[in-house]
Amino acid sequence: MIKSEFSSAGRSVYERQMNADLVIIGGGIAGTCGAIAAAREGLKVILVQDRPVLGGNASSEVRLWILGATSSMGNNNRWSREGGVLSEILIDNMYRNPDGNAIILDTILLEKVKNEQNLTLLLNTAVYEVVKSAPDEIREVIGFCSQNSTRYILSAPYFCDASGDGIVAFQAGAAFRMGAESKDEFDEGFAPDKEYGELLGHSIYFFTKNAGRPITFTAPSYALKDVSSIVKYRSYDISDHGCKLWWLEYGGRLDTIHQTEEIKWELWKVIYGIWDHVKNSGKYPEAENLTLEWVGQIPGKRESRRFEGDYILSQKDVVEQREHPDAVSYGGWSLDLHPADGVFSERPGCNQWHSKGVYQIPLRCMYSKNIKNLWLAGRIISASHVAFGSARVMATVSYSAQVLGLATQYCLKNKITPSKLANSEKVQELRQELMQKGHFIPGVEPQLQNLVHNANITASTEFKLSGLKADGYWQKLEYSTAQLLPAAPGDQIKISFEIEAEERTNLTLQLRISAKSINYTPEIILETREIPVAIGKSTLVAEFDHIMGEEQYVFVCILKNELVSVQTSSNFLSGTMMLMNRYNKSVATSGVQMPPDGIGIDSFEFWLPSRRPAQQNLAFKLSGSLEPYKVSNIRNGFCRPTNAANAWVADQNDLNPCLSLSWEQSVQIKRIVLFFDSDFDHPLESTLRVHPERIVPHTVRNYKILDADNNVIFEKSGNYQTVNEIILDQSINTSSIRIFPEHPSSNVPAAIFEVQVF
């Protein structure tokens, strides 16, 4: 029994002091991925989250799917899905949760965090005070957990604000911006005027279900009485729910921090008003058996404060794909701005303009320029309002946050500030070590070193790309269609396709490339061929004269002709795909981006792949063969296609593929890292969307590794992850290892992007 007499002085809550190397405030996707990555670097990390679950806008509390540079396959950013911890989470989620249940994602995120021994998680804990040791340095932050009535005093040499609104950076006094810059400040033609509005609003989603019997609905008294204009301008479809209702947005004219509760109530009014209209207006008889299953209790925030670093990312960084000496991350979502009036605007719900490829994000955007030990993560990084429209999305902010663990290690080891790291030669070491871990930085050449670089490498076979079998469905040329092929200097494309024509006609074929070798926007037409086609089935042959001068992807394009169909192939192959000149209605309005004059955006065509399980390639034959899948690729440092395929791929007819590494003298091996193909082109939306498979079909499932004496030193079955790190129980001395990957299926040859041996 506890009995306490009256205390005239009052009482203090229970207090706990904790120390760490890095304290991360905010457990959204950015903070969560950053904390896991930092813990894996050996840092002692405390992750503070003011909600009962992790994931922020991706959690079951909001239920927005995670997307980034792939833009849900709606742009020209091939093989651009973000890697690292985020990829690991999304692949786990697809394996365990292919139906996209946000509650299951909650459990996966919590499990990932709890499995890290160096990571302490404080849920339901709101940081409300910052204590500084100097005007430009944070000593500790103070938070309170209402669930256990505990005040936490958290100290560390480095802090990371991933809180969304930037509560720590704000209280520390860091310089910030809120709202839109003028067009002149950064020469941004897309900067909005006051009529359009300077802030993106909040959203709340809802889900419905069929109860199997008539369900009535009585709206709460606060429901909006007239939603006819909303339904009209937003083309509401009652089959949509969850984050497909992204346009349920409001608050861009208000203070998106301090008026969040008011914004939430207005969104509730709109949601219940829409549902009242659906159930009781008589215009939706098909909704008789529908009922509301879930309505969000907290809004998903898009924008509030953005804090200033040593560099402010702007529109031209995105559109021109500018290079930065301290680039450590990338983005690829469109410049995506929304009218401030949200659902009450007659304008389209969003205004999206894409770049021709992915763009670099520098480290100088990821810390406060005023507070020397404060990292910035999530949507508060240093960016203009326009660039923020792209850099704000969850996969992009998570990928950037993953950098900060290793960056903090560099700061601790070298006793320097984030600013000194970003503005010194040390940042080059950081970038190379990030790429050693499989981190992709577009335009940066890996210079990695491990035992593989001193090895003699051979393979039982190398896939020579002479064609793909004609066993798929017939694709009508409703859209101009292309086969994307990895070409090298000296290659010349002589190709044939199987076609079927309804009547005699002509087909136009073009050989195209991108102006930048790392892009996949086929804006340069190298050659055009006009070929007559007879009625019925035939073989279409195109011989192009152009000889490739550099390693780069080429597009063999067959222009639109609805009288003709071309046969596809059931083969999936690393670093190749079929594309069509069409558009994704979720992110574009046409197969050609046509911006108005004067806003500083490029016009170009969209060439998009089909989402699995649709066929991924055209059937074709080459006169001769391309040889992009050399075994030497496994040590070039790239773990995805870039301007080249970058993978070793075994011949499909090789029944026992083998990759051999040998050394002149025995070497000591403790750790082996394998990087498999998990189709970085395919987005892995975390919620709502149902994925057609639990495992990416490109990924090697089963493999074994033998030493020089034919001892099996490791064997794996049922793999589905991209990165396999093998830490041996005891170091071994051997003059060679052999890796035997099984083909994932009869239609997918085994592929490995990189092997590292330590």
The helix/strand/coil state of 377 is coil
- Residue 232 has what pLDDT? 81
pLDDT, mean of residues 114-119: 98
Reported as a pLDDT band with limits 50, 70 and 90, residue 194 is very high
> How is residue 165 annotated by DSSP?
S
- Residue 359 has what pLDDT? 98
- Residue 589 has what pLDDT? 80
pLDDT, mean of residues 676-699: 96
Backbone angles phi, psi at 267, to 5 degrees: -65, -40
> How is residue 742 annotated by DSSP?
P
| CA neighbor of 250 nearest in space, from 264, 229, 234 | 264
| CA neighbor of 151 nearest in space, from 171, 131, 174, 172 | 131
Torsion angle in degrees (nearest 10) through CA of 284, 288, 294, 300: 0
| Higher-pLDDT residue of 607, 239 | 607
Contact 260, 301 (CB under 8 A): yes
**Predicted confidence (pLDDT) at residue 586 exceeds the cutoff of 80:** no
**Predicted confidence (pLDDT) at residue 235 exceeds the cutoff of 90:** no
Gap between the Cα atoms of 456 and 620, Å rounded: 34
Sign of the torsion angle spanned by Cα atoms 53, 54, 56, 59: negative
pLDDT in tens, 258-282: 999 999 999 999 999 999 999 999 9
Spell out the residues 6+ positions from residue 442 whose beta carbon is closer than 8 angstroms to its own: 321, 327, 330, 357, 358, 359, 360, 518, 642
Spell out the residues 6+ positions from residue 754 whose beta carbon is closer than 8 angstroms to its own: 438, 633, 634, 635, 636, 637, 638, 639, 673, 674, 675
Torsion angle in degrees (nearest 10) through CA of 519, 522, 524, 528: 150
**Predicted confidence (pLDDT) at residue 101 exceeds the cutoff of 90:** yes
Gap between the Cα atoms of 573 and 679, Å rounded: 10
Gap between the Cα atoms of 461 and 534, Å rounded: 39
Q: Round the average pLDDT of the chain to a whole number and report it.
A: 97
Gap between the Cα atoms of 256 and 241, Å rounded: 24
Contact 522, 514 (CB under 8 A): yes
Spell out the residues 6+ positions from residue 263 whose beta carbon is closer than 8 angstroms to its own: 201, 202, 250, 251, 254, 256, 299
Cross-strand bridge partners of residue 567? 474
Pull the structure tokens for residue 488: 């090298």
CB hemisphere CA count around 644 (13 angstroms): 23
**Predicted confidence (pLDDT) at residue 234 exceeds the cutoff of 90:** no
pLDDT, mean of residues 620-630: 96
259-268, 417-426, 515-524, 577-586: which has the minimum mean pLDDT? 577-586
Peptide bond into 749 cis (omega under 30): no
Gap between the Cα atoms of 562 and 84, Å rounded: 42
Q: List C-alpha distances in Å: 87 to 19, 80, 723, 739.
A: 30, 11, 10, 24
Gap between the Cα atoms of 33 and 271, Å rounded: 32
Q: How many CB atoms lie within 10 A of CB 48?
A: 28
| CA neighbor of 16 nearest in space, from 50, 49, 52, 46 | 46
Gap between the Cα atoms of 350 and 251, Å rounded: 14
pLDDT, mean of residues 317-337: 98
pLDDT, mean of residues 446-462: 96
Cross-strand bridge partners of residue 568? 618
Name the percent of the chain lying above pLDDT 90. Answer: 97
Q: How many CB atoms lie within 10 A of CB 536?
A: 11
**Predicted confidence (pLDDT) at residue 587 exceeds the cutoff of 80:** no
**Predicted confidence (pLDDT) at residue 213 exceeds the cutoff of 80:** yes
Sign of the torsion angle spanned by Cα atoms 34, 37, 42, 46: positive
Pull the structure tokens for residue 266: 């207005």
Contact 224, 261 (CB under 8 A): no
Gap between the Cα atoms of 49 and 53, Å rounded: 8
Gap between the Cα atoms of 572 and 749, Å rounded: 8
Torsion angle in degrees (nearest 10) through CA of 323, 325, 331, 335: -50
**Predicted confidence (pLDDT) at residue 98 exceeds the cutoff of 90:** yes
Contact 162, 51 (CB under 8 A): no
- Residue 365 has what pLDDT? 98
The helix/strand/coil state of 98 is coil
- Residue 253 has what pLDDT? 98
> How is residue 19 annotated by DSSP?
E
- Residue 421 has what pLDDT? 98
DSSP β-ladder status, 125-134 and 206-210:
unpaired
Spell out the residues 6+ positions from residue 508 whose beta carbon is closer than 8 angstroms to its own: 528, 529, 530, 531, 558, 559, 561
Backbone angles phi, psi at 644, to 5 degrees: -140, 165
Gap between the Cα atoms of 165 and 199, Å rounded: 13
pLDDT, mean of residues 390-396: 98
Residue with token string 């829409």: 274
**Predicted confidence (pLDDT) at residue 595 exceeds the cutoff of 90:** yes
Q: How many CB atoms lie within 10 A of CB 690?
A: 8
Measured between alpha carbons, how far apart are the two ends of the chain, in Å?
A: 59
Gap between the Cα atoms of 741 and 74, Å rounded: 33
- Residue 231 has what pLDDT? 83
Cross-strand bridge partners of residue 507? 531
Contact 358, 444 (CB under 8 A): no
